[in-house]
Amino acid sequence: MISRIAQERMWFATFRIAALTVLLFLFAFLLILSLKGARVINWEFLTQSPREGMTEGGIFPAILGTLYLSLGAVLLAFPVGVMTAIYLTFYAPRNPLTQAIRVSISNLAGTPSIVFGLFGLALFVKTFGFGVSILSGVLTLGLLVLPIVIRASEEALRAVPQEFIEASYALGATKLQTIRSVVLPAASGGILTGVILSLARAAGETAPILFTAASFYTTELPKSPFDETLALPFHIFALMTEGTAPEAHTRIAFGATLVLLALVLSLNLVAIIQRYRLQRGKRW
């Protein structure tokens, strides 16, 4: 019979192997992208528009379009998501309607992104008449990441110690004053976690912008929210599905993929640093 110490060592070794396996896959993922993508990255690649049917030039319009779409989606979803989380946490009564809202949020979080793309096409592009544009893409991506912001914000709000809230009430503060001055500052780190996750999700999505915002090929920068734009995820998809110059397209696609990864990591790093600063100020 295996002793308890032997069992513990066996399970510890299993957990370590699992962790090392994940680390190995991550290292291989980054290594392959770096080796294949770094060869084409230079100043021209990052600052110029594509030329010659996307076989030459750079990806600057796609970088700019990705920033427009992802940041716009997060700026749209952030206030709506936080306000919804505040309502569900502090104001919503326990009744079937509230339960239905929570179930709907969970279902939206699990809905395939292509469904959001078709919804955006039907509502924003066709019904509202925004056309294939940055505005349609931002609205569609904002709806896509909204459940992420709501869930993360709700969990962060519920994690605030009840003693803080009761102390605020004891000092005569109203519920709104308590939420604004006590709860939100204490929950800001968790809320920013939701922003980080939603930002990464919005920047990497292809299907929602396929019907609402992305241009297959253009050399011009968008001049208004009603213009269509290039975006890195769709640009990569277009390069890999265009059969006229497969070698050149594959090379540029790997470079664009590496840039997209670096862009998402950079945006996440900014949010993580800000979250760390907020958490350092906590005294609990």
Look at residue 26 in the predicted model and tell me its pLDDT.
Answer: 86
- As beta bridge partners, residue 56 has 51
Share of the chain above pLDDT 90, in %: 37
pLDDT, average across residues 59-76:
92
Look at residue 84 in the predicted model and tell me its pLDDT.
Answer: 94
Write out pLDDT tens, residues 250-263. 888 889 999 998 88
C-alpha distances in angstroms, 229 versus 30, 224, 249? 28, 10, 19
Residue 284: pLDDT over 60:
no
Model confidence band, residue 281 (pLDDT cutoffs 50, 70, 90): low
> Are the beta carbons of 103 and 149 closer than 8 angstroms?
no
Superfamily of domain 43-280: MetI-like (1.10.3720.10)
* Domain ranges (residues) in the chain: 43-280
Output the DSSP codes for 42-102.
SHHHHHS-EETTTTEE--HHHHHHHHHHHHHHHHHHHHHHHHHHHIIIII--SSHHHHHHH
When the pLDDT of each residue in the chain is averaged and rounded to a whole number, the result is 87
Model confidence band, residue 87 (pLDDT cutoffs 50, 70, 90): very high
> Are the beta carbons of 48 and 268 closer than 8 angstroms?
no
